Chains A and B, each alone.
Chain A
Amino acid sequence: MTAKTKTAEQVAGIGVEQYKYGFVTDIETEKAPRGLNEDTIRFISAKKNEPEWMLEWRLDAYRRWLTLEEPTWAKVHYPRIDFQDLYYYSAPKKKGDGPQSLDDVDPELLDTYKKLGIPLREQEILAGVENPTMAVDAVFDSVSVVTTFKENLSRAGVIFCPISEALQSHPELVRKYLGTVVPVTDNFYATLNAAVFSDGSFVYIPEGVHCPMELSTYFRINEQNTGQFERTLIIADKGAYVSYLEGCTAPQRDENQLHAAVVELIVHDDAEIKYSTVQNWYPGDKDGKGGIYNFVTKRADCRGRNSKVSWTQVETGSAITWKYPSCVLRGDNSQGEFYSIAISNGHQQVDSGTKMIHLGKNTKSRIISKGISAGVSSSTYRGLVSAHRKASGARNYTQCDSLLIGDKCSAHTVPYMETRNMSATFEHEATTSKISDDQLFYCRQRGLNEEEAVALIVNGFCKDVLQHLPMEFAVEAQKLVGISLEGSVG
């Protein structure tokens, strides 16, 4: 049998055994009634004790959403989602009503995060390292369960808390920025999110502050038939800097689960946000049953002069991924970067890319996208680079590389380019390659088994992107690349 045929067969045989985050946490929850109507929204808003304007904002979004159609332009296929069959709010039951400290958090939850490799007890983190470098906000289904190192951060003036808490403690900041990057009217899923979002992280870095720790949010979907709609809002004021990481997992379930998040980044003069994602939602089983529908809107607004945003993503999970982290380069000399690794295996479908909207003068953007497809999966890069009339001197460099493993998967590249300014310079390069039997044999002759060989070749393929991840994350991501492709050859 040729290695190629074997590869294809092994890929077909890929099972859920590889997904090691598939366990379920058994915990009592409080839910909103199933289905979506204005009462659901009032329920969520009341749960969060939100100000009146917030409720109105949500209801307005809901009414608009009723008039919208689900988008169908992406190269993904799935049965119609019955939005009345979902739960829109699910939270672990609290012991009391008081403010949540770690002592109030159900130990079952803390253990869940420990199992996921995210220790939340500060003393446990401190026991391991001299200087903690990362603060974590842990979001479980619809609520944030705990945020670590809040005090250390507040000493630097940094606000890092659940967005529901920010609505209480800093309503003026939330009101000023919420929906200014991704408007309520933006798209079907973003509008739905605006109506029903339950939690997410809020970050504010004041003027001139270099955030002393990496900030991180860890999203976990646990409950059955529940959608996760989180909303993240990050503001870097003048001259500020923050590096933010996001991780995601979910249990193995037979039915599909919906995740429709919105992330808004606002970057003022001379400020910089580095946003990294390792997305490892449950991808479904070998027959394509179950898995997360990941329909996400992420956008950064580089409002200030010399502002900079860098998106880095490693996408290995989800049954369907639909996401385009984008940059609006409004300020003169602002810069946007997008580094992406998207791995699809089994029956996964990925339609992902970015938009770089050049509005200001001398704005620069860079896109490096690496797609790896195995099994019977499909991976599409879809990207827009545009320069508006006033964007003189705009520059973009785009590189899209696809790597195929086996002969039943597919890769597509759909770049859009528009310019209304003669002085804009856009470059686009694209390649498609396969891991050849010759390369595999060469590695095996030197002593690597097939899985080690594939991991090595794929990591080499992704190198340009991996090197943009924060150190600790890069090591994790390298391992994840190997794990995601386990069983893709044999």
Chain B
Amino acid sequence: MKSLMKIENLHAEVGGKEILKGINLNIAPGQVHAIMGPNGSGKSTLSNVLAGRDDYVVTKGSVSFMGENLLEMAPEERAAAGIFLAFQYPLEIPGVATMTFLKTAINAQRKTRGEDELSTPAFMRFVREKSALLGVKDEMLKRPLNVGFSGGEKKRNEILQMALLEPAFCILDETDSGLDIDALKVVSEGVNALRDKERSMLVITHYQRLLDYIVPDFVHVLSNGRVVRSGGKDLALELEKSGYAEYGADAA
């Protein structure tokens, strides 16, 4: 099987505490893998480690992405190589118009890849086309990035960035948190529109609900820093019924 990302025996710690204790995952191009698990099982740590956050220290194991050693790359290099993380809590940047941020990000990635910057008209056309699909209005693009955005607007903005940056590998970190059912549908449609034969996704969620809309090829259960069970999309339904109790979590 061709592999886009291969994670082998990955151990990582935060603030001296080991959180990931030997993760193995092999993700082929075009596949959508869901990671489920109780709070504190290491789901968000995994997404932060893959994106290259400073405070997350890999102590053992390897991650190869398109045949390259991902762990040696700076966060911005990973981004340019095609890793995208949709944040659970997108950050606010006061005074920077969303449009300006989008353009800066696209051109920064293009520069890193040795491509020409997008001209302003070309960029505007591109943004208009993608934002229409997600129901993002011009007015929102003029507002400072995420400042005063509702939960739904923030997540739609994340998916808009994903659509514009056209990453090879998308990590969705609890994208369903803070969304009502209508917003969840819009965001899921946006994500589904980006699914294709080449693009892979890692969908991290606590609840099965999201997976009704973004249907995964594989589901993995993470518990205490390890993948304890893997299966098809039906595994999520089973978890919905039985909860995470048997995976060492409180009933909550």
Which positions in A face B, CB cutoff 8 Å?
A: 1-3, 6, 436-439, 441-449, 452, 456-457, 459-464
Contact = CB atoms under 8 A, between A and B. Distances in A.
A439 B95 contact: no
A251 B106 CA distance: 38
Contacts of B93: 439, 442-443, 456-457, 460
B96 interface: yes
A467 to B, nearest CB: 10
Nearest to B91: A442
A270 B192 CA distance: 62
Contacts of A464: 95
A461 B92 CA distance: 12
Given A441-B75, A460-B94, A461-B94, A447 B108 contact: yes
Nearest to A450: B76
A447 B96 contact: no
B74 interface: yes
A2 to B, nearest CB: 5
B53 A447 contact: no
A77 to B, nearest CB: 32
B90 interface: yes
B91 A459 contact: no
Nearest to B78: A445
Contacts of A2: 54-55
Contacts of A445: 51-52, 75-76, 78-79, 84-85, 87
Most buried by B among A1, A437, A460: A460
B109 interface: yes
A438 B91 contact: yes
B75 A456 contact: no
Interface residues of B, number: 32
Nearest to B102: A446
A3 B56 CA distance: 11
Nearest to A401: B94
B85 A3 contact: no
Nearest to B85: A445
Most buried by B among A1, A6, A447, A456: A447
B108 A449 contact: yes
Given A2-B54, A445-B85, A446-B165, A459 B96 contact: yes
Contacts of B76: 444-445, 447-449
B96 A457 contact: yes
A341 to B, nearest CB: 12
A448 B144 contact: no
A10 to B, nearest CB: 13
Contact of A452 (B51, B55, B104): B104
A446 B157 CA distance: 13
A441 B53 contact: yes
Interface in B157-206: 161, 165
The 9 closest A-B CB pairs, nearest first, are: A460-B95, A460-B96, A447-B109, A446-B105, A463-B95, A444-B75, A442-B91, A447-B79, A447-B108
Contacts of A1: 54
Most buried by B among A1, A437, A439, A442: A442
Interface in B64-82: 74-76, 78-80
Nearest to A461: B95
A401 to B, nearest CB: 9
8 contacts: A2-B54, A437-B55, A439-B93, A442-B87, A444-B76, A456-B96, A456-B104, A462-B95
Given A437-B55, A441-B53, A460-B95, 5 more contacts: A2-B55, A441-B54, A449-B76, A456-B93, A457-B93
Contacts of A457: 93, 96
A462 B161 CA distance: 25
Contacts of B91: 436, 438-439, 442
A5 to B, nearest CB: 9
A438 B161 CA distance: 18
Most buried by B among A437, A444, A452: A444
Nearest to A5: B54
Nearest to B146: A442
Contacts of B54: 1-3, 6, 437, 441
A47 B63 CA distance: 74
Contacts of A439: 91-93
Contacts of A462: 95
B24 interface: no
Contacts of B92: 439
